[in-house]
């Protein structure tokens, strides 16, 4: 059994030893911490009062003060001194009381809302799952928490895009089945409607006829044509008219974003090489208070995907302290984007690393360019070859226990079957159905701390598809300890559900 399992998050790079106190509020006690200069900068009101009275004792003054020079008047003198002290004290107490009253009034009427990252379930078990004013607590009452399963029986994605050919299917609630959409009668307006139903609002919606003869028979059980050109997004089923078979044996291949295209082709992280600018235009750096913590990937103009443990493990849940840096292969500088919301899968388990996926929504859309564009989400039932063209990228440690890389690094990896990875020689029984392994069994090439949340991508059909999310592993690049990644294909329903239920379509 493994004794050391590391999430690939660069906690030690966030707070190095010589800068651990950068976020600590200065003490309000007025203690001297910087030598003689602090005695000048800090003001102690009670010390002023005492020194004033003491100075008066040594002064030769006229009037009532002169009475204090004779012994027979000493009781009167003491009384006079005491009255002066009491007057000063009463004035100061009055000022302090007034200040406290003002603070209490402000606190009562002013409640700044701190937006927190929040757990998100497929089942909407609260009136709203928008976390803008939540405190990060679980919004699901204990009696309604979903069981530890995929929840497929509780939620049906209204739209499916099957295999790498992106064959379109639409779900009918009334009939309880998915229908393959025929190309006959298909119009471009249908594409906009379907893509918005998926949660996308891209300027690029591509559709084309797809021969059904090249599709797996299991995917072809029911067929329908689109009988309307416009309508409510909430009633997509109303567009469907079931038919026996598709005319001309053609379905619809649909693409909702201009995704998965790299502006630079590569020639060859631990064991990796520096990456060319624009090679992985979807790669982002997630910064907590300006420090790189995790990687992520752009999936649309306002959505970034990462790992749940980047936010949960160290209680990094305050949304305003996060920034998305994108569009550059250098760790610094790069374009910064504010974050509006962070959601992580409500079934994420810190002990087993299961369901390790999260989504961030930026405050404003990101402008796409040759060096900033989205990666393709995998399709339902899409299969990837174990020896395919698959890569990992990130600014993580270049060696176990090392330092972050100043430039984006890349490495080619092989997918490793879960059957092999779960064997006793590797990770016995620790790789769930929501995980996959990638790398090499002899080690040397691997993701590491600081790469968490970054993408594992594979090229197929001319597009780059995100297959996994950097999640965990024992050490970095060790023999028989390949990297373990979130299996994104098994969590597509959760991803699309979050895109669909957000208050604003991206």
Long-range Cβ contacts of 424-427 (<8 Å, 24+ apart)? 425/480, 426/480, 426/481, 426/482, 427/2, 427/474, 427/481, 427/484
CA distance 466 to 488: 7
As averages over each run of 10 residues, the pLDDT of the chain (506 residues) reads 53 46 35 37 30 39 46 58 75 76 57 76 56 44 39 70 90 89 88 84 81 81 80 67 92 91 65 83 96 96 96 94 94 87 95 97 92 94 90 93 91 95 97 97 92 96 95 94 96 92 58
Domain range 273-501, CATH class: mainly beta
CA distance 358 to 121: 11
Domain with CATH 2.40.10.10 in the chain: 273-501
At residue 134, the 3 state secondary structure works out as coil
Specify whether the CB–CB gap between 224 and 182 falls below 8 A: yes
Other CB atoms within 10 Å distance of the CB of residue 500: 17
Q: Which of 207, 297, 354, 356 is catalytic?
A: 356
What's residue 103's pLDDT?
61
Nearest 5°: CA angle at 387, between 436 and 326?
Answer: 65
What's residue 213's pLDDT?
86
CA distance 35 to 269: 45
What's residue 202's pLDDT?
66
Q: Which of 202, 452, 493, 502 is catalytic?
A: 452
What's residue 63's pLDDT?
45
At residue 104, the 3 state secondary structure works out as helix
Q: Which residues lie across from 336 on neighbouring strands?
A: 325
CA distance 470 to 422: 18
Q: What is the pLDDT of residues 299-332, one digit of tens each?
A: 999 999 999 999 999 999 999 999 999 999 898 8
Domain with CATH 3.10.250.10 in the chain: 159-255
Tell me, yes or no, if 452 is annotated catalytic.
yes
CA distance 222 to 242: 8
Q: Which residues lie across from 223 on neighbouring strands?
A: 180, 243
What's residue 21's pLDDT?
35
Peptide bond preceding 333: is omega within 30 degrees of 0, i.e. cis?
A: yes
Q: Which of 292, 309, 337, 497 is catalytic?
A: 309
Architecture per CATH, 159-255:
Roll (3.10)
Q: What is the pLDDT of residues 147-192, one digit of tens each?
A: 333 344 467 888 999 988 899 999 888 888 999 999 998 988 888 8
CA distance 503 to 129: 9
What's residue 52's pLDDT?
32
pTM for the structure as a whole:
0.74
How do strand 390-394 and strand 409-416 relate by DSSP bridges?
Answer: antiparallel
Tell me, yes or no, if 414 is annotated catalytic.
no
Burial class (CB in 10 A: 0-12, 13-18, 19+), 188: exposed
What's residue 192's pLDDT?
84
């Amino acid at each position: 059994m493994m004794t050391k399992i590391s999430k690939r998050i660069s906690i030690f790079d966030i707070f190095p030893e010589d800068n651990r106190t950068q976020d600590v509020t200065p003490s309000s006690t007025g203690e001297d911490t910087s030598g003689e200069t602090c005695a000048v900068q800090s003001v102690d009101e009670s010390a002023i009062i005492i020194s004033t009275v003491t100075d008066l004792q040594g002064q030769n003054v006229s009037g009532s003060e002169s009475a204090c020079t004779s012994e027979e008047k000493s009781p009167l003198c003491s009384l006079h001194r005491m009255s002066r002290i009491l007057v000063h004290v009463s004035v100061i107490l009055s000022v302090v009381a007034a200040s406290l009253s003002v603070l209490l009034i402000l606190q009562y009427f002013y409640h700044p809302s701190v937006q927190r990252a929040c757990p998100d379930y497929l089942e909407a078990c609260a009136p709203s799952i928008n976390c803008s004013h939540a405190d990060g607590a679980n919004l699901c009452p204990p009696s309604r928490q979903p069981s530890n399963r995929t929840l497929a029986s509780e939620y049906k994605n209204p739209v499916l895009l099957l295999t790498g050919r992106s064959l379109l299917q639409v779900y009918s609630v009334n009939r309880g089945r998915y229908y393959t959409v025929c190309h006959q009668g298909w119009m471009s307006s249908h594409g906009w409607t379907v893509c918005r139903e998926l949660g996308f609002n891209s300027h690029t919606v591509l559709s084309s006829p797809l021969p059904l003869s090249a599709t797996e028979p299991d995917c072809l059980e029911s067929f329908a044509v689109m009988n309307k050109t416009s309508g409510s997004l909430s009633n997509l089923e109303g567009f469907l008219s079931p038919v026996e078979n598709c005319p001309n044996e053609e379905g619809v291949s649909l693409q909702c974003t201009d995704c998965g295209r790299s502006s630079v082709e590569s020639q060859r992280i631990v064991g990796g090489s520096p990456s060319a600018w624009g090679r992985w235009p979807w790669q982002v750096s997630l910064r907590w208070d300006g420090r790189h913590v995790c990687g992520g990937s752009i999936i649309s103009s306002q959505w970034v995907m990462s790992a749940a443990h980047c936010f949960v493990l160290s209680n990094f849940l305050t949304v305003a302290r996060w920034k998305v840096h994108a569009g550059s292969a250098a760790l610094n500088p790069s374009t910064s984007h504010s974050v509006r919301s962070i959601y992580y899968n409500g079934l994420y388990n810190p002990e087993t690393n299961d369901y390790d996926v999260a989504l961030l929504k930026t405050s404003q859309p990101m402008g796409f360019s040759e060096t900033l564009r989205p990666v393709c989400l995998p399709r339902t039932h899409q299969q990837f070859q174990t020896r395919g063209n698959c890569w990992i990228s990130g600014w993580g440690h270049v060696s176990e226990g090392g330092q972050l890389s100043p430039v984006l690094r890349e490495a080619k990896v092989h997918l490793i079957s879960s059957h092999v990875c779960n064997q006793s020689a590797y990770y016995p029984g620790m790789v769930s159905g929501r995980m996959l392994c990638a790398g090499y069994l002899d080690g040397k090439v691997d993701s590491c701390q600081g790469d968490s949340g970054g993408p594992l991508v594979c090229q197929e059909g001319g597009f780059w598809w995100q297959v996994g999310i950097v999640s965990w592993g024992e050490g970095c690049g060790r023999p028989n300890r390949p990297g373990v990644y979130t299996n994104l294909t098994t969590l597509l329903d959760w991803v699309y559900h979050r895109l669909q239920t957000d208050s604003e379509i991206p």
